[in-house]
Amino acid sequence: MTGTDKLPELPIPGKAFVDRLITRTWLRNDIGHPAIAWLLVGRPVRESEPRYQREQSELHLRAMCQAMGLHDPEDPERPLDSTFIGSGPRLFVGGVVVEMDYGHPEYLLQVDQPGPAWRRHALRGGPIIVGIGLLPVPRGDSTVLMREYLRYSRANAKLKIGRIGVHGLGSVSRAGRRHQER
């Protein structure tokens, strides 16, 4: 499937599913290029996971992608950082807590411990790319491992991406309930 997936509208998963997801963040800061913050969302590798659970998890992740307007990376020959389509402001930053609006009317996804440089970049309005991986995310968080995961997932049409921004500051809840200042 390509683009926004021509699937019927899928129900957006709730707290029980998103609490099991993992997130990885890193700041790509190559010389001669603007810094880009990455946020990867996916499910962890689980040993001996039954096929039906893998398929159900992929459907839930696709529903999140659909709700956020994420797409397949456009041109496989272009760098992944340059192939995004805007998905709008989706992050809420409150001190060290960062949560993402993934389209559910009641819950937010908590981002696992983004570093201070990543948060500063986001708060300054720097580009942030979110990637939702439809394949299990491997253990470890090295940038090299994450780039290899992105490359492999992209080559197998198991990655959806978009550019996001900061929606609001403060008053985010650790309980995952949607609270925002308007």
pLDDT in tens, 113-168: 899 999 999 999 999 999 999 999 988 878 888 889 999 998 898 999 999 999 87
pLDDT tier for residue 83 given thresholds of 50, 70 and 90: low
Give the residue among 34, 17, 18, 35 at the shortest CA–CA distance from 26: 35
pLDDT at position 86 over 80: no
Residue 7's pLDDT is: 61
Contact 27, 121 (CB under 8 A): yes
Q: Of all helices (H) and strands (E), which one includes residue 58?
A: helix 51-68
Contact 123, 93 (CB under 8 A): yes
Instruction: Supply the pTM of this predicted model.
Output: 0.84
Q: How many CB atoms lie within 10 A of CB 127?
A: 17
- Which tokens belong to 52? 């039906």
**Spatial separation of the C-alpha atoms in residues 100 and 53, rounded to whole Å:** 24
SS3 at position 116: helix
DSSP 74: S
Residue with tokens 């997936």: 5
The domain limits of the chain are 15-169
Residue 37's pLDDT is: 93
3-state DSSP helix/strand/coil percent for the chain, to nearest 5?
Answer: 25, 30, 45
Contact 102, 18 (CB under 8 A): yes
